[in-house]
Structure 1
C-alpha cells in the first residue's frame, strides 16, 4: 500500500491520465491501494480479471478500470482502455522517493574538483564522484554510490544506494540504477598458457540509452575493445548478467537471472523470461520472446516465441523420463533400421 504526503482530486488524476471520470471530481485521494485494502481516501485499480471478484466489495474512494467493468463498480471510477498503463502512471504521482531528494552535496560525499555537476544535482552521504565525471541536471547519486572517472550521467538519472558506475561509462537521461548494480565492471576475459590464466584488459566501456532501468545486483560488463551497448527504454530486472560487448536493442526487457554471454546481439522489442541463458556470439532478431529457463545456443532469425527445457513434474515421473532421454539415440537407430527393413 502506498500513501502520498499530499492529496490529489479525482479531477486532477483524470486530467493526468486522460481518463473518463464518472463521479465527483472534487473527491480527494491520498494514496493508492489494492481493491481489497483501499479505504475511502485511496484509489484502487482493476487491471486483471482475476481480481474482478473484489470489485463489488471495495471501499476505495475511486477505481481505475476498463469501461467494460464500469457498471459493476460501486465507487467513483476512472475509465481507461489500458488500466494497467494508467496504474503505472498513477503510481508515479504517489511515489515518495523523488520528494525526498534535496539538491546539494552531502558533507560526507567526495566530489573530485574536475567533476562537473549540473543544476539541481543531489549527491548523498558517502557517495564518490571521481575526476572528470559529468552529471547532468537533477541527477541523484544515492548513499555509497560511485561514479567512475570520466563517466557521464544524463539529466534526471537516479542512482540508488551503493551503485557502482565504472570509469568511462555513458548513461543516458532518466535512467534508474537500483541498489547494488554494477555498470562497467571488467568483462570475463582471460587467456590460458597451458598452466595458468592471463587477464585480458577490458579497454571498452558501457553505453546505456535513455530511459533504461537496471535492477538490483545486476552487472553489465564493459567491452573488451568496443563498448557494451544497451538501447533506449530497455528494462533489466535484478540479478542479471550481461557480458562484455553484448548489444541489446531498444524497448527490450530482461527478467530476473537472465545471463547473456559475450558479443551476443539482442534485437529490439525482445523479451527474455526469468533464468534465460544466451550463449556467446549469437544474434536474436527483433521481436523474439524466450520463455523462462530456456537455453539459447543458436542465433534466432525469425520473430516469435521460443522455449527449451521441460516443466516441473513429480519426481518419479522425472526419473522415468530421464531414463528415456538416455535411450533416445538407441531408439532412433532402431526406428531407422525398422523403416529401412519395411521399405
Structure 2
C-alpha cells in the first residue's frame, strides 16, 4: 500500500524537503531502492552511494544533506537520528502491509472456562489457555501456544507459534515473544546430599514489563522463591538463557546465545554482545556494555565497555600462550626474587661509592 510522503512525515516526524504528494510503498537499501522506496543514510561513508540512489526520498541528517548537495534529486526527510527514523518508518510500512488480525477463538483452541480472554484478542489453532489466565485487549496468540494457569498477558501483546508461557507469569503491554520461547520453566535449583541432587521447588514467577521483545527459543526461568524480573523495554535475541531470580533492568539489550546465570542483577540501558556469559549472583551497573564472547566473572560497578576474551590465534600459538599463562605464578615469584637481588646489589654499589 503506497502512501504520500506527507503521511509518513505526519506520523513519524522529521522535516520534509520535496514533493509531499510523492507516493512511497516501503523502505529499501540505498543501492536497491527505486522510485517507490524510501531509503536512509546513517553511515557517512555511504554518502556517495546515497547521492546516486534512485530512492524517491532519503532519510538523513541536515549535515549529510548539505554534503550531498544537488547530486541527489529526490525528496529528503531531515532528522537528527536517521537510523531510529528508519526503524519507525519501517514499522509503519510493515503495519500497512500486514494482514488484518481477526478477533476470535479458533475452534481447535482449548480455553478453560475460568480464563478471561478479551473479545478483541485473536486465539489461533491448538492454543491452550489454562485456568485463571487473563489475555488482554488486542492480543494475538498464534498456533500451538500454551498459556498457563493464572498468567496475565497484557494488551496488544503477540505470542508467535509454540510459545510456552507457564503458570503465574506476567507480561505487560505490547510485548513480542517469538516462536518456541519458554517463559517460566523451572530454574536450575538443586541441593546436594551425599552426592545426590535434591530438587528445590521453583515457586516464583517471571514478571515482564511493557514493550519487551523475546527472541525465538529463548528461555526465562521462574524464580526459586522470589520472581525473575524483566523490566520495560528489554530486548532479548534468540536462544538466550536467563536463569532464575535474575533481574534485568529497563531497555537492556542482549544478542543471541547470551547466558545469564541465576540471581544476577543487571542494570538499565546495558548491552551484551552475542555469546557473552554472566555468572550468577553478580551485580552489573547501568550503562554497561559487554563485548561478544566475554565472560563476566565479577560484579561491575561503573558504566563503560568491558571485554573479557583472549584474542584469536592459531592453535599452536594458543598452546604456547596457555603454557606461559600456566607458569605465570612461578614466573612472578622468580621476578620478585630478581627484583630483591637487583635492589640489594644497587644498594651495595651505592655504599661502595
TM-score normalised by the chain length of structure 1: 0.95
Partner of 2:113: 113
RMSD: 1.5
Q: State the partner residue of 2:156.
A: 156
The question of whether the paired residues in 1 share the 8 Å contact of 2:223 and 2:245 is answered with: yes
Contact 2:259 2:278 in 1 (8 A): yes
- For 1:198 and 1:37, how far apart are their aligned partners in 2? 59
Indicate whether 1:18 and 2:13 are aligned: yes
Deviation at 1:318, TM superposition (A): 2.6
1:127 aligns with 2:127: yes
Q: Which residue of 2 aligns with 1:3?
A: none
Partner of 2:282: 282
- Map residues 24-173 of structure 1 onto 2, 5 A cutoff: 24-71=19-66, 72=68, 73-95=72-94, 98-173=98-173
Which segment drifts farther, 146-155 or 318-327? Answer: 318-327
1:52 CA drift (Å): 2.7
Contact 1:58 1:74 in 2 (8 A): no
In structure 2, the residue matched to 1:265 is 265
Distance 1:187 1:104 in 2: 34
Partner of 2:241: 241
Question: Could you say what secondary structure the match of 1:334 adopts?
Answer: helix
CA distance in 2, matches of 1:76, 1:314: 51
Whether the 8 Å contact between 2:42 and 2:82 is mirrored in structure 1 is yes
Deviations 1:36-86 (A, max 9, x none): 111111111112234333212211111111111214233211111100110
User: Separation in 2 of the partners of 1:56 and 1:191?
Assistant: 65
Distance in 1 between the 2:263 and 2:190 partners?
Answer: 15
- The answer to whether 1:215 aligns with 2:215 is yes
Q: CA deviation digits over 1:205-236, x for unaligned, max 9?
A: 10001111111111000000111001111111
Pair 82,325 (structure 1): closer, same or farther in 2 beyond 3 Å: same
Q: Which moved more, 1:221-230 or 1:273-282?
A: 273-282
CA distance in 1, matches of 2:141, 2:237: 20
Structure showing the higher helix proportion among its residues = 2
Alpha-carbon distance, 1:129 to partner: 1.0
Q: SS in structure 1 opposite 2:327?
A: helix
Distance 2:313 2:49 in 1: 33
Residue correspondences, number: 338
CA contact (8 A) 2:44 2:64 kept: no
Greater shift after overlay, 15-24 or 212-221? 15-24
Counterpart of 1:340 in 2: which secondary structure?
helix
**CA 1:183 to 1:50, structure 2 compared with 1: closer, same or farther past 3 Å?**
farther
SS at match of 2:321: helix
Supply the distance in 1 between the matched residues of 2:257 and 2:309 (Cα, whole angstroms): 16
**2:347 aligned partner:** none
Match in the other structure for 2:350 = none
Residues 173-228 of structure 1, C-alpha deviation per residue, up to 9 Å, x if partnerless? 11110111111011011222224322211111100011111111110000001110
SS across alignment from 1:210: coil
**In structure 2, distance between residues paired with 1:230 and 1:191:** 26
Relative to 1, partners in 2 of residues 1:323 and 1:53: Cα closer, same or farther, differing over 3 Å? farther
SS in 1 for 2:341: helix
1:319 deviates by: 3.2
Deviations 1:267-286 (A, max 9, x none): 11221221111111111122
Match of 1:183 in 2: 183
5+ residue gaps, structure 2, are 344-353
Name the CA shift for 1:241/1:70 in 2 (closer, same or farther; >3 Å). Answer: same
Give, in angstroms, the shift of residue 98 of structure 1.
4.9
SS in 1 for 2:187: coil
Moved more, 51-60 or 299-308: 51-60
